[in-house]
Amino acid sequence: RFNFILLRENVGKRKAQIAAIRRSSGDLVLNVDSDSTLASDVVTKLALKMQNPEIGAAMGQLTASNRNDTWLTRLIDMEYWLACNEERAAQARFGAVMCCCGPCAMYRRSALLLLLDQYESQFFWGKPSDFGEDRHLTILMLKAGFRTEYAPDAIAATVVPDRMGPYLRQQLRWARSTFRDTFLALRLLPGLDRYITLDVVGQNLGPLLLAFAVLAGVAQVALTATVPLWTVMMIAAMTMIRCSVAAFRARQLRFLAFSLHTPINLFFLLPL
């Protein structure tokens, strides 16, 4: 039931995708990363979501298949839940999920064929782009006038980094993609709901404002030898509110432990 396309050399994910899409014949194309495992009903549930011809792409909910390996994989599994069931779910209310993630995303083939040339010819600093494929393809779908959706009951499990080094490298790739493609997304915002505008602006300004707060706190310690209590208390309060809301919505107390992600964010991800 499958045709395997063997390329002569490793040309990267983007060109491999394009080769497969151009050889495909079905109405829908399913993208699955090599380290991901799909639940048995994922294709059915994503295909049902795609019945609306206005929808160009839909993604499923991601979980960490190796969640129980280390403390870091447990945190990342919660991070994925939050990204899917807060951010993506909220964006889907307006038909504008800003990134249909690679482990489990379904596309309308007729829409893909309209976009392949743009997708293949993306450059970054004068060189062909070799990162951020999922986000860029989603933005192209939105630019072409298609809706992008999220199916929370289509579950895909993917292997996540179990050590800090690989995790930080992954986050660096994603951050580069987010900031780069945000400039492309800005042209879309006037045609989208005002919530999406607020969401895109907040996602990009939020980390910068948090970094400014941390730098101000460090400066206070260095210059006055006093502890920036208000900064510490505000970050701690926001962390506990977010984790408490997540624990309530998921009906799982484990999300209170996601507060441990805050120091990782402050001392590793923000400088990165």
Q: Quick one: average pLDDT of 234-245? A: 95
Q: Quick one: average pLDDT of 247-257? A: 96
Q: How far apart are CA 31 and CA 29, in angstroms?
A: 7
Predicted confidence at residue 22, as pLDDT, reads 93
pLDDT, tens digit (0-9, with 9 covering 90-100), for 56-101: 999 999 999 999 999 999 999 999 999 999 999 999 999 999 999 9
Residue that has been written with the tokens 């743009």 in this structure: 118
Q: How far apart are CA 156 and CA 108, in angstroms?
A: 19
- Percent of the chain past pLDDT 70, that is, above it, reads 100
Predicted confidence at residue 66, as pLDDT, reads 97
Radius of gyration of the chain from its Cα atoms, rounded to whole angstroms: 20
Q: How far apart are CA 178 and CA 185, in angstroms?
A: 10
Q: How far apart are CA 14 and CA 112, in angstroms?
A: 13
- Res. 124: pLDDT tops 80: no
The CATH fold of domain 11-206: Spore Coat Polysaccharide Biosynthesis Protein SpsA; Chain A (3.90.550)
Amino acid, single-letter form, for residue 46 = L
Q: How far apart are CA 238 and CA 255, in angstroms?
A: 14
Q: How confident is the model at residue 208 (pLDDT cuts 50, 70, 90)?
A: confident
Predicted confidence at residue 190, as pLDDT, reads 81
Q: How confident is the model at residue 205 (pLDDT cuts 50, 70, 90)?
A: confident
Q: Could you give the 3-state DSSP secondary structure of residue 67?
A: coil
Tell me what the pLDDT averaged over the chain comes to: 92
Predicted confidence at residue 245, as pLDDT, reads 96
Predicted confidence at residue 97, as pLDDT, reads 95
- Res. 30: pLDDT tops 80: yes
Q: Quick one: average pLDDT of 132-148? A: 93
Element (H, E) at 202: helix 194-224
Q: Quick one: average pLDDT of 174-196? A: 82
Joined together, the tokens standing for residue 116 give: 């392949």
Domain boundaries, the chain: 11-206
Looking at the DSSP assignment, which residues form a beta bridge with residue 158? 36, 64
Give me the phi and psi of 115, to 5 degrees please.
-110, -10
- Res. 129: pLDDT tops 90: no
